[in-house]
Amino acid sequence: MNCILRGVRVIDPAAGMDAVGQDVWLSEGRIIAVYPSIDEGTVTVVDLTPAPGHPPCILAPGFIDLHAHLREPGGERAETVLSGARAAAAGGFTQVLAMANTEPPIDTPIRVAEARSRAAGAVVEVMTAAAVSRDLAGHVPVDVAGCAAAGAVAFTDDGRNAAPPELLSDVLRRAHDAGRPVLVHPEDERTIAERNRSGGPWALSLDRPAEAEATAVRSALEALAQAGRGHLHLQHLSTAASVDLVRRAREDGVAVTAEVTPHHLAMWSPAAQATDPPALLKVNPPLRTENDRIALIQALRDGVIDAVATDHAPHHVDHKCGDLASAAPGMTGLETALATCITLGGMSGDWIPVLLERLTLGPHRVLAPGADLRQPRLRVGESATCVLFDPAAPWTVGEGHTHSRSRNNPLWGSRLNGRVLLTIADGVVAHHDPALLPWPSTLMEAASG
């Protein structure tokens, strides 16, 4: 690949850069130059200069997703590491953290090493999280040091929250010593069980009150205080009450970070349209009220919430049909995250730089520096890891080729704005949209080689 992207907006949160009307020269997988006007000579020019009144295409560092379920091993009908990585690239993500709640779970150093091996051929970097407790049961802590040495970049029982405060405190201390964060799914299992007396699996329970989340957030913060050290990260916050708890903890200097999903930023229960099947809207934690959504958006803008994380949860169609109470929770999100935030979350215009920070530097701060991950940057002269997207390009979810093995997304068939044109991971093209970025055939041959 040897071309000049003409007339783009370059946003690099780490460098404090936001410049419109830039030419970006890419050659052999590297960013050669970023300048307002580059004399092309014999270099092919891809002219992306926007029409009057149209926002420019944006080049940014590749996105980092802190929260994806790639289902391998055990759930390959719904997703594999390789198909999930392709979906991530289509969404602009160049690093994805795969959760540990597979079958069997990633709860030993050997299983961490096996997960790392499965990720070796992915088009983007797939990182591995190890469980907090064996079998996610909350009884016996995993070998934290051993799992970190095998390549785990974080610890989480996501999908469960069975670990008592004493066990969580122990793992927080050990993970801190290994330079790793502990990610907690903040839903109190006891509260939910008391509200759902059907005796079914905790994860399938429909009544998941807001107080179950607030109770779990308080418990996790208490465990962190008992630990005396450690980095606690709270996953998929969904309520205003949780935001208030995190805000106060951070004001007190507590080492806690948090994430929010695109669907909790964009949808809320009073206005949610019916879907077919209805379980497409079933997620843990559930979609909340408009007041909660506004609180989440404000917290994201203020930096109280550090990152947008997809909670990509693919399911085979068999697990989303039939009775709502027996259907699996979760929806896909890697390919739609950017457009969901822009279109339904209202994060266009002056929101874009903040959104990009929460998709790049914010997630990096959660995982670094202990895991020694490279900072998301657009570095001239180095291998490019970046995403090019058009924030105003309209597209229909599910139209054309999709990369995830699953279709469980309530936005299927919806018209959204914001489309990824190109994703480059470590100098190699991981995704290219030929409809919106029609490269000359010579460039395509060079990129595919």
Active site residues: 311
Nearest to 132 by CA among 230, 260, 202, 218: 230
Q: Of 412, 205, 213, which Cα lies nearest the Cα of 329? A: 205
Alpha helices in 290-349 (DSSP H): 290-302, 337-343
| Contact call for residues 121 and 148 (beta carbons, < 8 A) | no
Nearest Cα to Cα of residue 340 among 282, 243, 283, 260 = 260
Q: Which residues of 425-449 are buried (b: 16+ CB within 10 A; e: fewer)?
A: beebbbbbbeebbebeeebeebbee
CA distance 203 to 159: 7
Q: Integer distance in angstroms from the first to the last C-alpha of the chain?
A: 9
Smallest CA-to-CA distance from 47 within 317, 440, 446, 393 is with 440
DSSP 8-state secondary structure symbol assigned to residue 383: B
Question: Whole-angstrom Cα distance, residue 254 to residue 226?
Answer: 12
Closest of 370, 261, 260, 248 to residue 306, by C-alpha: 260
Q: How far is CA 115 from CA 98, 121, 410, in A?
A: 9, 12, 30
Three-state DSSP at 367 gives helix
Phi-psi region of 369 (alpha: psi -120 to 50; beta: other; left: phi over 0): alpha
**How many residues are given for the chain?**
449
Kindly state the tokens that stand for 225.
Answer: 């205080």
Structure tokens at 91: 């969404």
CA–CA separation, 302 and 294 (whole Å)? 12
Q: Which long-range contacts does 31-37 make (Cβ < 8 Å, 24+ apart)?
A: 31/378, 31/379, 31/380, 31/381, 31/382, 31/384, 31/386, 32/380, 32/381, 33/380, 34/10, 34/378, 34/380
Tokens of 443: 């460039």
CB 133 within 8 A of CB 107: yes
